[in-house]
Amino acid sequence: MELEAIGRKHAGEDQINWITAFFMAMFHVGAIAALFFFSWKALFVACFLWWVSGSLGIGMSYHRLLTHRGYKTPKWVEYFLTVCATLALEGGPIFWVATHRIHHKYSDQEGDPHSPIDGTWWAHMGWILMGKSMHHDTTTLARYVPDLAKDKFHVWITKYHYVPMIVLGVILLAIGGLPFVMWGIFMRTVIGLHATWAVNSITHMWGSRRFSTRDLSTNNFLVAIFTFGEGWHNNHHAHPTSARHGLTWYEVDLNWYGIWVLKTLGLAWDIRKVNLAEIKGGLVAAPNGGLVAAQFTD
């Protein structure tokens, strides 16, 4: 189907998406230029916005809330987290969620948009730079995200996902000048992009495997640190709807801690999670409240 070929590698048919390539190149040049505009305040701003876009946005919103519905929140919280995610420059929610759902459906098989089976570079960023871009094609994408396609806000923000980034850039320029823009927009965005792309590439090649899944997913500590917990990828592929990816005390999962804070504040409920002790016993909680068998390889 059309969307399933967004990032699929077709020998001899790959074409560079010049618009995407231009902006990716511009941001990487900007990140290098940021080194000449260093200030401690700018670095702090970059780190804060990295957390806002990468943890509140990509991890807690696009991934665990919108894609897998691992928990529920009030609509205003969902929309706020979604706006945070657009600051990562990874497209609007309908595009991101549709692509990720397809990844789980065909993980490391024909049809996976970004599998290292098609090459490390392809899995990391080649699939973004080459092939068809469908960031604004909400009609086609709707087949894979019927829940989001019915929501006017998600449809609008998918078409205009770049607007929050532009507004942020203007604000940073006004309050901190070029250093804030270079670090808060360019450097922060490039680091965040490569961290997310590392989940697609590195965690499907290097790491440990706690569960016997049908794909190549692994748990990678370093990727988990740079993605606020998304690097516990084998845990995630074994239990996709779980809002908690780090299953032990040493598997640091800041995105889960954020969801826990929302729950404590009464802003998150119906949270799906698995308990490692139950998994080791051969049973895990199922969405319907029952128990299902688990494959544990440790």
User: Which residues are 23's β-sheet partners?
Assistant: none
Q: Which helix (H) or strand (E) holds 205?
A: none
DSSP 8-state code for residue 16: B
The tokens for 247 are 């299953």
Lowest mean pLDDT among 41-55, 74-88, 194-208, 279-293: 279-293
**Sign of CA pseudo-dihedral 196, 200, 201, 203:** positive
- Taking residues 121-138, report their average pLDDT: 75
Concatenate the DSSP letters of all residues of 262-295 into one string: HHHTT--BS-----HHHHHTTEEE-TTSSEEE--
- pLDDT band (50, 70, 90) for residue 15: confident
The tokens for 5 are 């070929």
- pLDDT band (50, 70, 90) for residue 147: very high
Q: Characterise 130 by phi-psi region: left (phi > 0), alpha (psi -120 to 50), beta (else).
A: beta
What is d(CA 298, CA 200) in angstroms, rounded to the nearest whole number?
23
CB atoms within 10 A of CB 48: 12
Q: Note the helical H segments in the chain.
A: 18-34, 40-51, 75-86, 93-105, 120-121, 127-129, 138-141, 146-149, 152-159, 163-181, 188-201, 221-226, 233-238, 254-264, 276-280
The answer on pLDDT for 205 being more than 50 is yes
Q: Which residues contact 115 (CB under 8 A, 6 or more apart)?
A: 107, 108, 109, 122, 123, 204, 216
- pLDDT band (50, 70, 90) for residue 138: low
What is d(CA 268, CA 106) in angstroms, rounded to the nearest whole number?
30
The answer on pLDDT for 53 being more than 80 is yes
AA letter at 62: Y
The tokens for 282 are 């051969």
pLDDT of residue 287: 40
The answer on pLDDT for 45 being more than 50 is yes
Higher pLDDT, 288 or 16: 16
> Collapsing DSSP states into helix, strand and coil, what is residue 47?
helix
pLDDT of residue 134: 52
The answer on pLDDT for 189 being more than 70 is yes
- Cβ distance 178 to 37 under 8 Å? yes
> Nearest 10 degrees: CA dihedral of 86, 88, 91, 95?
-90
Q: What is the CB-side half-sphere exposure of residue 210 using CA atoms within 13 A? A: 19
What is d(CA 245, CA 257) in angstroms, rounded to the nearest whole number?
11
pLDDT of residue 297: 46
- Taking residues 64-78, report their average pLDDT: 98
User: Which residues are 219's β-sheet partners?
Assistant: 208, 232
> pLDDT for 108-118, tens place per residue?
999 899 999 99
> pLDDT for 163-175, tens place per residue?
999 999 999 999 9
Lowest mean pLDDT among 10-24, 64-78, 83-97: 10-24
What is d(CA 57, CA 193) in angstroms, rounded to the nearest whole number?
13
User: Which residues are 232's β-sheet partners?
Assistant: 219
CB atoms within 10 A of CB 174: 10
- Taking residues 206-235, report their average pLDDT: 96
pLDDT of residue 285: 40
pLDDT of residue 257: 98
The answer on pLDDT for 290 being more than 80 is no
pLDDT of residue 98: 94
> Collapsing DSSP states into helix, strand and coil, what is residue 232?
strand
- Taking residues 48-57, report their average pLDDT: 98
- Taking residues 144-169, report their average pLDDT: 95
pLDDT of residue 227: 98
The answer on pLDDT for 291 being more than 80 is no
Question: CA triplet 154, 53, 95: central angle to 5 degrees?
Answer: 35
The length of the chain in residues reads 298
pTM score, two decimals? 0.89
